[in-house]
Amino acid sequence: MKRRAFLQGAVGLTVTFAAVASGCRAIPVIPKRPAPSAEDALGWLRHHDGKYELFVPRAEMGQQIGIALRRIAAVELGVSADRIRLRAPSSQDIERVKATVGSDSVKDFALPLAQACATLRDALAEGRTEGEIRVVERPLKQLLSMRADATANLLVVRDDLLAIVSGAPLFAADMRLPGMVYGRVLRAPVSPELGSRPVDWNDAAARRVVGFVAVVQEHNLRHANSVGLGILASTPGALDRIEQALSVRWHVDGKFEPREIDDAIDIDRHLAGGDLRHAVRDDDLDATGAWSIDLRFDVPLAAHGGIEPRAALAHFTATPTGRPRLQLFTGTQDLFYVRDVLARTLALDADDVSVQACRLGGGFGARTLALVEVEAALLARAIDRPVKLVWTRAQEFRQGFHRPPSSHRVRARIVEGRIVDWWHALVSSHILFTPAAMPLWIQRLVDIAGDQGVARGAALPYDVPRQRIAFDAVRLPVHGGPWRGLGTAPNAFVVESAIDACAVVAGSDALQFRLAMTKDVRLTAVLRGVADDAGWNAQRSEQPPSGPRRGRGLACGVYKGGSRVAVVADVEVSASGDARVVTLWCAHDCGLVVDPDGVRAQIEGCLVWCVGMVLVEALPLQTSGIAATGFAESPVPRISSLPRIEVRLLSSNATPTGAGESAMTAGAAAIANALFDATGYRASRLPARPEELARSDH
């Protein structure tokens, strides 16, 4: 099916499509995420007249991955960093690469790039300045950039700083093309899980709005079960006025109430109904004996809260043979998945779709699907002009996917001061197999194996002889999905909060209790390191007779079997229950550190997320959907509420193991444990409520 001929004409155009989806469209596009090779990495490099270009194969969203890869390239090539120009690629500049997810950028991409740069260096030294070369892989010890501290003292000046502070076009919302118009897709104000479609609107009133260009009906303006109505305007400001004038009436199939979400994941209801379907570990436990602790935890729905709303700019041209060609600018974590979805949706050859990567103003897992990109492309095809589409903040909340809520029950049995039995059961909604991308029938198939994103972070980092860790995922009428670290943050919060409760029951110091349960040398090192930095073993002063109560908490974790993290938090809680995190100390081991400043920035970002998770963040619901339209209803931490953060990096020659999400394993629980130390209240339902922290009867 080729590009259709479309109506073109004057302002006041209304365009209607009646596309029929073929049977295969019921199967969603599956992301392809190949591991990068050294041969792939050669394709990221260009050399000409002593200058180098590096197409950064990872999405840049503030984590400075371009700087880290540039450091590796400079050391391995033996040139100054300023001779290497960084470029954001399009899908036609490089071969398919793995999506920017999982804290894998340095972990998976550093070594292939080092091998490619070493090969290029040798070729140039031999006078080979033209043509293609093949990678000659060499032992790790021969790679200059893979040695400890090889890049730490390398001066790398960020060449995008001026562009960032001056407002130069870096983000998709900054892009401009001649003849461009502005688009928006209106949808029913309900969850896209519910079937909804426009049934009536005031077209005549919309045409009278200054700046009106078109109303677009298109079958493929569909997100999950929500069918939208497109509008186009000559200015961004006209979009609001057109939307108001249209007064669209929506048909919605069914409804749900917020309490139904809580009921669907209620861990005690699930346990009363039988065993959970999936297990991380399934040892035999004595279920009849007394438990030393028996705790329930509930973690709410939460948004990603990226500062930049989703945006895309789409433009159709023609190939020399007359085939339609699509060029699209967007900030995405999966460049090639977006290309594949656009090719499928618009019935184009993949080679005729060029997706240009732009800088992201926050991703955190939210930019892994193709949402705004499809909307922009369909509207551009309809009007045959470039279309820029930027989601509003309300659309981010109502149409995006979020961290799914979860409900947990933890029981532990302590004998002679050590945990001998551990039982953790949890229920959440899907993360890797998000309902935002998966129809129900496919989700039922993958449920046979279980969504491992839900269980991430639930495994104990300690030597406990008998463990049962079970989980399940249920499809909810609101869409959940990847949120920084997948299930790591809520699961690690629960695990380390329960470990703290076990230490209290055992009458043991929180640090010594953990050290006694692990033989992991790296985990021991970060625990001792953060304890030294925070002065954990120093004499604790008594609570002041007046003023805020003070508390200190500790937590640690292992992220994806690789990075080790430990955090100490100091908090203050006022008489009215208002809590403030005063200081966070973090010791972090992610193996070889290529860019220390970048790693510290990632850790600090994770810890700020942990502050928000424990103290303020929850996405409110209303009948049939998300209630929030802005940060007033779904807050994130403000600069004024942020603590002092101290980070110790334990670098080594070990293979890099990732830093982007790893501190989510420890930050939230350290804060919650500090709140318990200050008030005697165990924060079992997030965010911690001032009225509970203010009570004096704990």
Q: Which of 458, 412, 461, 408 is nearest to 285 (CA)?
A: 412
**Residue with more model confidence, 523 or 48:** 523
654: pLDDT confidence band, cut at 50, 70 and 90? confident
**Residue with more model confidence, 195 or 167:** 195
pLDDT of residue 161: 80
pLDDT of residue 529: 98
Q: Can you tell me the distance from the alpha carbon of 117 to that of 409, in angstroms, rounded to the nearest whole number?
A: 51
The answer to whether residue 265 scores a pLDDT higher than 50 is yes
505: pLDDT confidence band, cut at 50, 70 and 90? very high
The answer to whether residue 5 scores a pLDDT higher than 60 is no
By percentage, how much of the chain surpasses pLDDT 90? Answer: 85
pLDDT of residue 6: 25
Contacts of 320 (CB under 8 A, 6+ apart): none
* Fold category of 266-302+402-694 in CATH: Aldehyde Oxidoreductase; domain 4 (3.30.365)
Determine which helix (DSSP H) or strand (DSSP E) holds 522, and give its type and residue range: helix 521-534
**By CB neighbour count within 10 A (0-12 exposed, 13-18 middle, 19+ buried), where does 195 fall?**
middle
Burial code of 276-293, b = ≥16 C-beta within 10 A, e = fewer? bebbbeeeebeeeeeebb
* Over residues 604-623, mean pLDDT: 97
Q: Can you tell me the distance from the alpha carbon of 102 to that of 459, in angstroms, rounded to the nearest whole number?
A: 17
Q: Can you tell me the distance from the alpha carbon of 40 to that of 59, in angstroms, rounded to the nearest whole number?
A: 16
527-569 pLDDT per residue, tens: 999 999 999 988 777 787 888 999 999 999 999 999 999 999 9
pLDDT of residue 544: 78
657-671 pLDDT per residue, tens: 999 999 999 999 999
Record the tokens describing residue 71, joined without a space: 């450091």
Same fold, 38-166 and 172-253+310-390: yes
Q: Which of 255, 158, 171, 299 is nearest to 688 (CA)?
A: 299
91-147 pLDDT per residue, tens: 999 999 999 999 999 999 999 999 999 999 999 999 988 878 899 899 998 999 988
pLDDT of residue 8: 31
Is-contact 303 628, C-beta < 8 A?
yes
Per DSSP, the three-state class of 228 is: coil
Strand order in the sheet with 51-55: 45-48, 51-55, 84-87
Is-contact 205 213, C-beta < 8 A?
no
- The CA distances from residue 605 to 57, 65, 174, 184, 663, in Å, are 22, 15, 25, 31, 9
Q: What 8-state DSSP symbol labels residue 302? A: B
Backbone angles phi, psi at 569, to 5 degrees: -120, 140
pLDDT of residue 16: 45
Q: Can you tell me the distance from the alpha carbon of 90 to that of 313, in angstroms, rounded to the nearest whole number?
A: 14
CATH 3.30.365.10 fits 172-253+310-390, yes or no: yes
pLDDT of residue 152: 64
Q: Can you tell me the distance from the alpha carbon of 491 to that of 669, in angstroms, rounded to the nearest whole number?
A: 10
Backbone angles phi, psi at 273, to 5 degrees: -90, -5
Contacts of 518 (CB under 8 A, 6+ apart): 461, 462, 463, 524
Q: Which of 433, 455, 456 is nearest to 444 (CA)?
A: 433
* Over residues 583-606, mean pLDDT: 95
Is-contact 326 352, C-beta < 8 A?
yes
**By CB neighbour count within 10 A (0-12 exposed, 13-18 middle, 19+ buried), where does 177 fall?**
middle
The answer to whether residue 19 scores a pLDDT higher than 60 is no
333-365 pLDDT per residue, tens: 999 999 999 999 999 999 999 999 999 999 999
174-215 pLDDT per residue, tens: 999 999 999 999 999 999 999 999 999 999 999 999 999 999
Torsion angle of alpha carbons 368, 484, 392, 369, nearest 10°? 10
Q: Can you tell me the distance from the alpha carbon of 484 to that of 636, in angstroms, rounded to the nearest whole number?
A: 14
pLDDT of residue 691: 96
Mean pLDDT score of the chain: 93
Backbone angles phi, psi at 125, to 5 degrees: -65, -30
Q: Which of 159, 158, 143 is nearest to 72 (CA)?
A: 143
- The CA distances from residue 161 to 53, 170, 192, 423, 562, in Å, are 18, 11, 38, 49, 32
End-to-end CA distance of the chain: 68
Is-contact 600 585, C-beta < 8 A?
no
Is-contact 278 455, C-beta < 8 A?
yes
Contacts of 417 (CB under 8 A, 6+ apart): 506, 507, 508, 513, 516
Q: Which of 682, 401, 361 is nearest to 553 (CA)?
A: 682
The reply to whether omega before 687 is within 30° of 0 (cis) is yes
| Domain segments of the chain as ranges | 38-166, 172-253+310-390, 266-302+402-694
Is-contact 100 114, C-beta < 8 A?
no
- The CA distances from residue 187 to 68, 375, 674, in Å, are 41, 12, 44
Q: Can you tell me the distance from the alpha carbon of 363 to that of 660, in angstroms, rounded to the nearest whole number?
A: 11
The answer to whether residue 20 scores a pLDDT higher than 60 is no
The answer to whether residue 1 scores a pLDDT higher than 70 is no
* Fold category of 38-166 in CATH: Aldehyde Oxidoreductase; domain 4 (3.30.365)
Q: Which of 534, 525, 544, 517 is nearest to 461 (CA)?
A: 517
13: pLDDT confidence band, cut at 50, 70 and 90? very low
